[in-house]
Amino acid sequence: MKSFYLLFLAFLAIASVHAEEKADHVIVEKSQHLLSLYKSDHLLASYHVVFGSNPNGTKQKQNDGKTPEGSYILDTKKADSRFHKAFHISYPNEKDLANAKRLGVDAGGDIMIHGQKNGFSWASPIMQKINWTKGCIALSNHDIDAIWDKIDVGTPIEIKP
């Protein structure tokens, strides 16, 4: 019984260390509907996400329903968003702006990682099965709460196809 108790205490100690670890980068894999937190090359956790209503390909212009692809920074945290918490993504970057200029369109902006729209958390089991945002990355409220303290402003994010 004593060895079980010691093993249990060791497990709690390890779990508490990992619970407090901060991510040093975030990777989103659109094809897998996954947002993953990493510290160095160690996977801390992964979460199911959904995207813009037209998810295939990278965002080209305002209102195209696409989620950007590329390297960005999580440059702001918003606890008072229209959605249950939000991280702002530094889209558009220079490459996105140059592409939009070449196409003669507005690149758009205001791309976030966020929870459910305020007042609609009850719809999460349905909304997390469809791509419903205007180009953002959406998690359940429970999942955005889980990552809120694990990501600091300035953390890089890579959004992959």
Domains and CATH numbers, the chain: 22-160 (2.40.440.10)
The span from the CA of 141 to the CA of 121, in Å, is 7
Q: Is the pLDDT of residue 161 over 70?
A: yes
Span 3-23, average pLDDT: 57
pLDDT tens-place string over residues 47-106: 999 999 999 999 999 999 999 999 999 999 999 889 999 999 999 999 999 999 999 999
Q: Is the pLDDT of residue 149 over 60?
A: yes
Both tokens assigned to 36: 């993953």
Q: Is the pLDDT of residue 8 over 80?
A: no
Full-model pTM: 0.85
Q: Are 155 and 44 in contact (CB under 8 A)?
A: no
- pLDDT, residue 7, reads 45
Both tokens assigned to 145: 């709460």
Q: How far is CA 112 from the centre of its chain?
A: 8
Span 19-23, average pLDDT: 82
- pLDDT, residue 120, reads 84
Cis, peptide link before residue 125, omega less than 30° from 0: no
Both tokens assigned to 68: 């950007």
Which residue carries 């945002």 as its tokens?
A: 133
Burial string for 7-29 (b: 16+ CB within 10 Å, else e) reads eeeeeeeeeeeeeeeebebbbbe
Mean pLDDT score across all residues of the chain: 90
